[in-house]
Structure 1
């Protein structure tokens, strides 16, 4: 079975997630935005074999540790985001300096992702959905097996992602949530980029931005 642990990193308390196969301990990390020593200590403590880096989008708090982590672990493959976020990745060094992050490097994903793609971890397959709006190249990782979705900054418990950044689009974001997240099912638990987990069903009832009423 897939298991996961969420570790808040960076001054922005970004939810970085470790996902692993509980039999083989093969693991992926979602959005290593920083605090790499904290992440590596958790990986060692859990006995995991980190094999992949998955990126939801190119914002500094989600992606600034990517190049260094890949390099420190011998050239790990970097999977995602969608190529529309290339300009955010290119801007990582400037964004890190502007927000007081440690120096960040530009990286080139080993594999870009598109809507309908899949990623594999051992014997497990997760679905990829392209969910633009917060950024144009944002992607989401969904495991039907454990009914979990790693949604980055598309949706939060009680809120939605900001759309006032370059190439953000409010209408696109609402469409991404209602057309690409809701069909995953009301009982699906989502792990947002910041803050606590929730379910799509709960947000459909209570989230002031996207509730069904």
Structure 2
């Protein structure tokens, strides 16, 4: 079983997910946006072994703690898709744009693409390519538990911004309608910000999808 806890971090209230395999206690952090000491404490408190860092996209509020974590834990950084390399390479510029302190630079160990799979202990998640918010945004889906980690593609009652460099609103909506919603109404998703929802609820009630 894939266990999980959502840890909103930084002033952006970005949902970092700590996920772990119940059979092995091996864990991953999905989108560690900041507050490195808190994230490490949550891992230690549960007796977990951090196995990897998984990234949905390259925006600072989702990757900001990655470099600091790597200074403490030598683990692979997996994702996003290579199209987001310019965001990760420009972390200093992102920090300046938001008036934040610089963060430690890093380079992903493995770029992802549609059809890839990522493993946390014995648990496997599928990778879906969902550009629009950023050009290299990906989504992680655990098909057995009907669970998705969608970053900033879709929210409870909203969708991601597309006015950042290389964003595209039509691509974003297509990613949701053509890639995510067909996976099933029963899938619960953890968004990058705010409360969880299901694809079925958003199909019926999200004003951006009508």
Using the size of structure 2 for normalisation, the TM-score is 0.97
Encode CA deviations 1:184-205: one digit per residue, 9 max, x unaligned: 1100000000000000000000
- Alignment-derived partner of residue 15 in structure 1: 15
- Alignment-derived partner of residue 122 in structure 1: 121
- Alignment-derived partner of residue 190 in structure 1: 189
2:165 is the alignment partner of 1:166: yes
**Secondary structure of 2:178's match?**
helix
**Secondary structure of 1:209's match?**
helix
2:97 is the alignment partner of 1:98: yes
Encode CA deviations 1:148-188: one digit per residue, 9 max, x unaligned: 10000000000000000000001100110011101211000
- Alignment-derived partner of residue 71 in structure 1: 71
- Alignment-derived partner of residue 112 in structure 2: 113
Shift of 1:105: 2.7
Task: Give structure 2 stretches of 5+ with no counterpart.
Answer: none
- Alignment-derived partner of residue 47 in structure 1: 47
- Alignment-derived partner of residue 136 in structure 1: 135
Shift of 1:87: 0.6
Q: Distance in 1 between matches of 2:101 and 2:146?
A: 35
Shift of 1:207: 0.1
Asked if the contact 2:23–2:122 (Cα under 8 Å) also holds between the matched residues in 1, the reply is no
Shift of 1:45: 1.2
Encode CA deviations 1:15-69: one digit per residue, 9 max, x unaligned: 0001101121100000111101111111111111111000000001001111121
Using the size of structure 1 for normalisation, the TM-score is 0.96
Asked if the contact 1:153–1:193 (Cα under 8 Å) also holds between the matched residues in 2, the reply is yes
- Alignment-derived partner of residue 30 in structure 1: 30
- Alignment-derived partner of residue 207 in structure 2: 208
Task: Give structure 1 stretches of 5+ with no counterpart.
Answer: none
Q: Distance in 2 between matches of 1:157 and 1:140?
A: 16
Q: Distance in 2 between matches of 1:48 and 1:122?
A: 11
Q: Distance in 1 between matches of 2:143 and 2:168?
A: 28
Encode CA deviations 1:103-151: one digit per residue, 9 max, x unaligned: 2133111100001110011211100001000000000000012111000
